[in-house]
Structures are given as C-alpha cells and as structure tokens.
Amino acid sequence: MRVAALARERAYAPYSGYKVGAAIRTKRNKIHGGANVENASYGMTVCAERCAAFAAVAAGETKDWDAVAVIVAGDDLASPCGACRQVLYEFSPGMRVILATTTGKRKATTLAELLPDAFGPDRLPRV
C-alpha cells in the first residue's frame, strides 16, 4: 500500500483534483506503482491502475501478478473502472484487488468478483 500511496501523491490531476495511486505486486514480490494522469483532452486521461499495469509490463512482468492496491483520498473507496479491470484481466485474471482510502478504510476483493464473465485472451483464436 505504501507504493500506491506514494504514487497517489504524485498523480497529475489538475482538472478533477481526484488523485489515485495504484501498485501491482507480482508473485515474485516485485511492486510496480502508477498514478492517474489527466489531460486537457479528457479522453486521453489514464487511470492509476493502467499506469501500474503498463509499468509492470515495461519491466518485463507480464504474468503472475498477485494483487493490485488502489488508494484514494477521503472515506469513499474507489474500484477500478471497466477499462482498468479489462487490462488487469489480460495479465492476471485471478489477482486480488485491495481498495483503500487515506483515512484507513480498506476492502479486499478479487478481479473475478469485479469482472464476472470476463473476455480474455483465452477466447481469441491463436494465429
């Protein structure tokens, strides 16, 4: 959670003011952090969870992700959006998801619970 909290502090959120931090831990105990990065062209904004996922991939970690932690300010937990859930599923369908707030609220769940009947690589024909 420490890496996610540090990433949240570094988030670039000048439009919404809603800073989010995330960290992916692999089963080899490597941790990759990410923060949301907003853009004046709102559609170009990238969530913290995807930033963490892309950091893991850039570091050569494309499988065996154990968990993702997501932290936001305040008392209300924030769950990964649909796009982030889909990206996380691509690399680790069985991963745990830990949601947290800066005030200490926490909830643990799984990606399978957040994305039932997911569409993944196993549904595509291999070429």
Which residues form the catalytic set? 49
CB 107 within 8 A of CB 68: no
Half-sphere exposure of 37 (CA within 13 A, CB side): 8
Distance CA 33, CA 25 (A): 9
> In this structure, what token pair is assigned to residue 117?
């009947």
